[in-house]
Structure 1
Amino acid sequence: MYILVQANQYRKYEDLLDQSFRLRKRVFADQLGWEVATCGPYERDIYDDLKPAYLIWCDTHQTQLYGSVRLMPTTGPTLLYDVFRDTFPGSCDLVAPSIWEGTRMCIDVEAIARDMAGLSPDRAFCLLLLALCEIALDNGIETLISNYEPHMSRIYERAGAELDELGRAVGYGRFPVCCGAFEVSQRVLTNMRNKLNVVDELYKRPSYSRSNERAPATPSVRV
């Protein structure tokens, strides 16, 4: 299942968030060799103190994490501008209420292999991307900005995501880091579902949401 965890829900989902920070350390610090802030088994930075929203992929009992993404509006502090500014041209203005940053996107390959035999890491990542598109569209987000390594482009293409690479730079890790703008629209979502052969929605809205309404992005997701 896929959950959107907001600041007022951190305590409720503290175990899943704990697993997320541990996973981020294993992926970004240990595996990719990025220069990220670590403390013991965790990877956390100052942006995690700014009450971001987190997309969490977990089991139905909400005890095992499979993947996560951090979401922040570009109208506030972002890694995009503070750390990865060299990855996109100076002429690009990526600050707007409808443009959000998605960072620290990762999956737990071992947990997925153990609990979902037959689900490849590439497809698992594609499903997380699909859930991210659903949540973004549901919350009025029109563009998602993300930094990623070049080899990820093939996975984005496999997922049916529509990506415009704005630029790239070196000096952040073992490989260049790209900056990409992902379109969020019903058309893209439909294309992704067709490409991945997924019929049903992955993200289920909270019970308090009406089926014909979507939560407003900034107050709902950002607090």
Structure 2
Amino acid sequence: MIIVVDALNKHLFQDVLTEMYRLRARVFQDRLGWEVTVRDGMEIDSFDALNPAHVICLDDDGDVVGCMRLLQTTGPHMLADVFHSILDGEPPLRSSSVWEATRFCVDTKKLSGGKSRNSISYVTSEVMAGAFEYAMKAGVTDAVAVIDPVMNRVLQRSNNAPYDYLGSAKPMGKVVAMAALMDCTPERVNAIRDFAGISGDVFATPEAALDCFYRNRRPQTAKRAITNPRTALLQYCQEQYDSADTPEERAAAEALRLELSPLIDDAPVRRCQA
């Protein structure tokens, strides 16, 4: 099952995010030997602080077995700020309809080969399909991903080949990195689903995801309460207002609250002191 954790619902999934960061540490530091920052067994970088969307796959045991990070290209992102040499001097992509996909990984130790539901191939395809479906609903037309030649072959074999590449492949530490472009279209999603035999909705509700995640966890692990989506939106708007430092920022926060008012309760925004 797939869940998408973003700024609006991350307060529900802190334990899930912790397991995702631990999976990233096992994959990127332990298995691939990347030069990443790992603290307390978790791989977290500066881009995780920018409120990206994390596409996370849970298996039937409730374990995090796959993930991907989606980040808008209008602000800081890895291709612009870390892997810019790939672009051969060309400016980085900057578009609200183009998102960057990074930190893709699967739990190869737990998952098997073949194409079963518990296979590397299936989980890879489920994360990809979920990411593209989520992106399309958000109005995204294309995704750019920094990948290596091995991942490029995986994408080609799984009916998910990039339609183009930016710049040229460059050595990056122990791997060769390349920037791949993929369109977010129903045709791509259907091709991925057909390859893996995925049918039906891949997304789980928050309730179902948390029930699955905590089912086999220790009894003393407290399950986080499900918050009504309207309450979550209201809380997000209030946080934006409370953290505003200038009148302009407070005005922007109020404008956001008014824009979202049809979706949330009619509770007033709490004024902070000038």
Distance 1:38 1:18 in 2: 12
User: 1:160–1:191: 8 Å Cα contact kept in structure 2?
Assistant: yes
Residues 127-181 of structure 1: per-residue CA shift (max 9 Å, x gap) = 22122222111221111111111011121112211402222111x2322111111
The equivalent of 2:28 in structure 1 is 28
Distance 2:32 2:173 in 1: 7
Distance 2:206 2:20 in 1: 21
TM-score by length of 1: 0.82
User: 1:98–1:143: 8 Å Cα contact kept in structure 2?
Assistant: yes
The equivalent of 2:63 in structure 1 is 64
One-letter code of the match for 2:52?
P
The equivalent of 1:173 in structure 2 is 173
User: 1:2–1:204: 8 Å Cα contact kept in structure 2?
Assistant: yes
One-letter code of the match for 1:130?
A
Aligned residues: 207
User: 1:130–1:159: 8 Å Cα contact kept in structure 2?
Assistant: no
Distance 2:49 2:191 in 1: 35
Distance 1:97 1:200 in 2: 29
Distance 1:198 1:24 in 2: 25
One-letter code of the match for 1:196?
A
Q: How does 1:130-209 map to 2 (within 5 A)?
A: 130-163=129-162, 164-166=164-166, 167-170=168-171, 172-203=172-203
Change (3 A) 1:11 1:137: same
- In structure 1, the gaps of 5 or more residues are 210-218
- In structure 2, the gaps of 5 or more residues are 208-227, 230-258, 261-274
What SS does the corresponding residue of 1:187 show, helix, strand or coil?
Answer: helix
Distance 2:116 2:136 in 1: 30
The equivalent of 2:3 in structure 1 is 3
One-letter code of the match for 1:154?
R
Aligned-pair identity in percent equals 29
Distance 1:105 1:29 in 2: 13
The equivalent of 1:216 in structure 2 is none
The equivalent of 2:77 in structure 1 is 78
Residues 53-72 of structure 1: per-residue CA shift (max 9 Å, x gap) = 111111467x4211111111
The equivalent of 1:215 in structure 2 is none
Distance 2:188 2:147 in 1: 20
Root mean square deviation, CA, Å: 2.7
Change (3 A) 1:98 1:205: farther
The equivalent of 2:110 in structure 1 is 111
User: 2:116–2:122: 8 Å Cα contact kept in structure 1?
Assistant: no
What SS does the corresponding residue of 1:34 show, helix, strand or coil?
Answer: coil
Distance 2:72 2:100 in 1: 6
Change (3 A) 1:41 1:205: closer
What SS does the corresponding residue of 1:20 show, helix, strand or coil?
Answer: helix
User: 1:134–1:203: 8 Å Cα contact kept in structure 2?
Assistant: no
Distance 1:194 1:95 in 2: 32
Following TM superposition, by how much is the alpha carbon of 1:92 offset from its aligned partner in structure 2, in angstroms?
5.3
Following TM superposition, by how much is the alpha carbon of 1:197 offset from its aligned partner in structure 2, in angstroms?
3.0
Change (3 A) 1:136 1:93: same
Distance 1:123 1:161 in 2: 13
Residues 172-218 of structure 1: per-residue CA shift (max 9 Å, x gap) = 23221111111111222222223333332323578999xxxxxxxxx
TM-score by length of 2: 0.68
Higher relative contact order (Cα pairs below 8 Å, separated by 6+ residues): 1
Distance 2:146 2:204 in 1: 27
One-letter code of the match for 2:170?
A
Distance 1:145 1:35 in 2: 22
Larger Cα Rg: Structure 1 or Structure 2? 2
User: 2:84–2:92: 8 Å Cα contact kept in structure 1?
Assistant: no
